[in-house]
Structure 1
Amino acid sequence: MKDTKTDLFNCGKELFSSKGFKDTNVSDITKSAGIGTGTFYNYYSSKEELFMAIYMEENEKLKKSILKSINTDQDPLSLVKEIMLLNLQGMNSNPILKEWYNKDVFNKIEQHFREEKGLERLDFMYNDFSEMIKKWQIERKMRSDIDSGMIMAIFTAIITVETHKEEIGLQYFPQVLDYLTEFTIKGLTGDVKQDGD
């Protein structure tokens, strides 16, 4: 039996990968899937919703592969730098994830997804990384006077800076990101405070 939703997902993924989000429309996707355009809306409310479903799956695959490839016993600075480098490389090598850097596309998708109340799923490393932060806090490798959720938000902010690299200056950007990461980690690990200290 034909699974129309899966066909739409796969055809959308193929077209978004080859043509990009902006140059792919619903009729391209339905034509590729061999169904009528009206049928698309039985499964997805818009091109944005389909793209976000594909984006989230690709993003999750990348995060899982990063978590499998790293040594979590490293010191926090080395580990976070490695994670950020692997994340940057993974996003740049995946045409779906690379749309994150296309400001017009990302703003449109972000707005759509906020309305759907699902953007919190774009966390830096989901629960696994949050657990790592909590472990570092217990081991006194990271400040525990700052909530682990706030630390996750700080890392998300560093990654989001990548969408502003033109304004920062392309010639400075890689080093700016490196310094931001280093200064943030040193701030989170250099003066480790515990309750009652």
Structure 2
Amino acid sequence: MPKGFSAREKEWIKEKLMTRGRELFCAYGVKKTSISDLTHAAGIAQGTFYSFYSTKEELFFDILEQEEDEVKRAFLEAPVASGNNPKHAISELLIQTFNRIEDNPIFKRLFADDEMENLMRKLPDHKLEAHLRKDNDMLLPVIEKWKRDGVFLSVDSNIVAGVLRSLFLLATQRKQIGAAYHATVSFLIEAVVEQLLVPKSDSHE
């Protein structure tokens, strides 16, 4: 933990780093933003940065997780069982989630050039593993809520969570997929939902 700062000061410094870091990363990317750029923008000494983060990639990852939490909150709170067509509701929810990701400047920066590869290379394994666990911990309660709300799933909840996680990873492959990206995403969402959900007429057989 950082030494020499009160709890309020630590909170203020970290918030400042994240706010200024978000601005700089969105504008220039992680690779083109230096530690001195970050500390100068935040109004702190350069050495102070290392009391909070080992690398600028770890700061970017914290900002990324903060942005993800907003996307996840909207995903968690969205109703999917209202009406008689949960397949349509879930498909629409997945499309809306993709749109939120695509419109977010931090995600745009992550998917630009080789930022994603650089981030994965620089981050410690334990942070990536914790992130995957956090994703799973978020998705499983959502899936169980769908079940309680009358959405009939054809496979185990853990498989559903894995499929949804894999689907969202498509957003990291936009450049590789190319011009067919949006059509590919729409097709896969439709196919995934069709396979994961049991038709209502079959649910009581």
| TM-score normalised by structure 1 residue count | 0.80
Distance 1:11 1:4 in 2: 10
Any gaps of 5 or more consecutive residues in structure 1?
A: none
Match of 2:69 among 56, 60, 63: 60
Instruction: Return the offset for 1:28.
Output: 0.3
Deviations 1:76-98 (A, max 9, x none): 32222222222222222221122
Look up the match of 1:36: 45
Quick check: 1:91–1:97 contact (8 Å CA) kept in 2? yes
Identity of aligned residues (%): 26
Instruction: Return the offset for 1:44.
Output: 0.8
Look up the match of 2:125: 114
Counterpart check, 1:123 vs 2:135: yes
Counterpart check, 1:5 vs 2:14: yes
SS in structure 1 opposite 2:79? Answer: coil
Instruction: Return the offset for 1:152.
Output: 0.8
Look up the match of 2:195: 187
Distance 1:65 1:71 in 2: 10
Match of 1:94 among 101, 104, 109: 104
Quick check: 1:110–1:119 contact (8 Å CA) kept in 2? no
1:105 corresponds to which letter in structure 2?
E
Quick check: 1:103–1:163 contact (8 Å CA) kept in 2? no
| TM-score normalised by structure 2 residue count | 0.77
Look up the match of 2:26: 17
SS in structure 2 opposite 1:169? Answer: helix
Any gaps of 5 or more consecutive residues in structure 2?
A: 1-7
Quick check: 1:113–1:119 contact (8 Å CA) kept in 2? no
SS in structure 2 opposite 1:45? Answer: coil
Change (3 A) 1:52 1:120: same
Counterpart check, 1:174 vs 2:182: yes
Structure with the larger helix share: 2
Distance 2:101 2:31 in 1: 18
Distance 1:11 1:135 in 2: 37
Look up the match of 1:104: 114
Change (3 A) 1:76 1:99: farther
1:142 corresponds to which letter in structure 2?
L
What is the number of residues matched between the two proteins? 189
Distance 1:160 1:10 in 2: 26
Bigger shift: residues 46-55 or 91-100: 91-100
SS in structure 2 opposite 1:118? Answer: helix
Match of 1:134 among 141, 144, 166: 144
Deviations 1:73-127 (A, max 9, x none): 2443222222222222222222112234236211232341534232215628x53
Instruction: Return the offset for 1:52.
Output: 0.7
1:174 corresponds to which letter in structure 2?
H
Look up the match of 2:4: none
